[in-house]
Chains A and B, each alone.
Chain A
Amino acid sequence: MKDPYDTLGVSRTATSDDIRKAYRKLAKKLHPDLNPGNTQAEERFKEVSSANEILSDPEKRKRFDSGEIDASGAERPRQPYYKDYAAGGAGANPYESRSGFSDFAGADDIFAEMFGRQGRQSRNQRGQDLSYTLSVDFLDAINGARKRISLPDGGDLDLMVPAGIEDGKVLRLRGKGAPGSGQGGPGDALVSIAIDPHAFFIRKGDDILLNLPVTIGEAVLGGRVKLPTPSGAVMVTIPKGSNTGSVMRLRGKGAPRGGGHGDQLVTLRVMAPTKSDSALESFLASWTPGSDYDPRKDMLS
């Protein structure tokens, strides 16, 4: 056990005022609640407090100076420190503040769900709104779907994704946020919708764009082909004489809009066979195109 005078860094002739000042100076630096996570500071604070218990009491100081008591055992037991509660499980600390990182990009979205009750809440205050992000399948966003979000606290949140919802839209679920304090009601859950891209549909406003590969024959001769739409496959007729870049409009096959739907715009892409085709090759070798068949004539005129 260290000498209490050494611990506080004062001389044996120090006045009670010197001792008080020395103790406060050290305690401000070492108080465990000002140093959560620093166990060394906590140990030092115990020593310093223990030394102060002896030296700040004239009677004890006299007995220590005369060798009647030693430097040990003077520290009174105390309540657990605030930090021991403040670092509790998620949502356990109503005082904890997020203002120290609220300027970080995305901090609201990412951390909102991890904090049960956030920030300082006064008594009778409405609960915080909690933000979530929900990934929605492309087709679910067009057609609408019922979704369930699993919350970090083990609960669930059911919501209806309305048909035709756009990427980035936020759904507000009243009363599904953090509980309020006192008489204040709960906050709302704010669910931000992130729509996953689709393998071949692209959404543009209320319209759906689709690049449709067709064969040379289908483009030149026309024909009926099956193609996908968000509401299922349909048969369409490729007009005779179509080409790469030809656009077909399928009315009402887009995303919901007002009472109706947008359109699906199908852009044709003529695909030559990927494997060598001797019949086609021999035909092309013997074929003499008409004199106006020059796809690059606009470039080189």
Chain B
Amino acid sequence: MIINRIEFQHRAQIDQQTLDVWLEEQWLLPGETMTDLEFSEIDLARAVFIVDLKDRLGINDEGVGVILHLVDQMHGLRRMLGLIMPAPKAS
């Protein structure tokens, strides 16, 4: 499902300025049309994760960038491992 910028800010509970910073940092990579941004559910879940990191866990901006980079690598590795090993049990 495609989520526009306004709805995304509302559902992720972030303001425009915050979203602009996250886009600048490339923490989020939505699609783009001539007039708006196109977010998906994975972008939203990632934004909620970033909110968690900052608000619940007290991570600062530098730390968030590092964590996202490592988490992205971890998912790449998990997928690779999934390709060469039996699927994990459904959780």
Binding site for B on A (CB under 8 A): 23-24, 27-28, 31, 33-34, 36-37, 39, 42, 49, 78-88, 90, 92-101, 107, 111, 114-115, 120-124, 181-183
Q: Which residue of A lies closest to B12 (CB)?
A: A79
Q: Which residue of B lies closest to A118 (CB)?
A: B76
Q: Verify A82–B79 contact, CB threshold 8 A.
A: no
B16 at the interface (CB under 8 A from A): no
Q: Which residue of A lies closest to B37 (CB)?
A: A123
Contacts of A95 in B (CB 8 A): 29, 42, 46, 68, 72, 75
Q: Verify A79–B57 contact, CB threshold 8 A.
A: no
Q: Verify A85–B29 contact, CB threshold 8 A.
A: no
Q: Verify A33–B71 contact, CB threshold 8 A.
A: yes
Contacts of A122 in B (CB 8 A): 26, 29
Q: Verify A100–B76 contact, CB threshold 8 A.
A: yes
- What CA separation (Å) do A153 and B17 show in the bound complex? 38
Q: Verify A79–B79 contact, CB threshold 8 A.
A: no
What string of 1s and 0s marks CB contacts (under 8 Å) between B13-49 and chain A?
0000000000100100111100000000110111011
Contacts of A42 in B (CB 8 A): 91
B83 at the interface (CB under 8 A from A): yes
B6 at the interface (CB under 8 A from A): no
Shortest distance from the beta carbon of A278 to any chain B beta carbon, whole Å: 62
Shortest distance from the beta carbon of B36 to any chain A beta carbon, whole Å: 12
- What CA separation (Å) do A87 and B79 show in the bound complex? 7
Q: With A82-B49, A120-B26, A123-B29 as known contacts, state yes or no: A99 contacts B73, CB within 8 Å.
A: yes
Count CB-based A-B contacts (< 8 Å): 111
Q: Which of B11, B48, B74, B83 has most A Cβ within 10 Å?
A: B74
**Interface residues of chain B: helix, strand, loop or mixed (majority):** helix
Q: With A82-B46, A96-B79, A101-B80 as known contacts, state yes or no: A182 contacts B32, CB within 8 Å.
A: yes
Contacts of A115 in B (CB 8 A): 79
Q: Which of A27, A80, A85 has most B Cβ within 10 Å?
A: A85
Q: Verify B26–A82 contact, CB threshold 8 A.
A: no
Can you offer 16 A-B residue contacts whose CB atoms are under 8 A?
A31-B57, A36-B75, A78-B48, A79-B44, A80-B45, A81-B49, A82-B45, A82-B46, A83-B75, A87-B79, A88-B42, A96-B72, A100-B74, A114-B83, A123-B31, A123-B32
- What CA separation (Å) do A88 and B53 show in the bound complex? 22
- What CA separation (Å) do A114 and B73 show in the bound complex? 16
Q: Verify A36–B42 contact, CB threshold 8 A.
A: no
Q: Verify A87–B29 contact, CB threshold 8 A.
A: no
What string of 1s and 0s marks CB contacts (under 8 Å) between B58-71 and chain A?
10000000011101
- What CA separation (Å) do A33 and B45 show in the bound complex? 10
Q: Verify B75–A24 contact, CB threshold 8 A.
A: no
- Which of B23, B48, B56, B71 makes the CB contact (< 8 A) with A27? B56
Contacts of B86 in A (CB 8 A): none
Q: Which residue of B lies closest to A114 (CB)?
A: B83
Q: Which residue of B lies closest to A42 (CB)?
A: B91
- What CA separation (Å) do A24 and B67 show in the bound complex? 15
- What CA separation (Å) do A94 and B42 show in the bound complex? 9
B77 at the interface (CB under 8 A from A): yes
Q: Verify A99–B48 contact, CB threshold 8 A.
A: no
- Which of A36, A39, A85, A114 makes the CB contact (< 8 A) with B74? A36
Q: Verify B73–A34 contact, CB threshold 8 A.
A: no
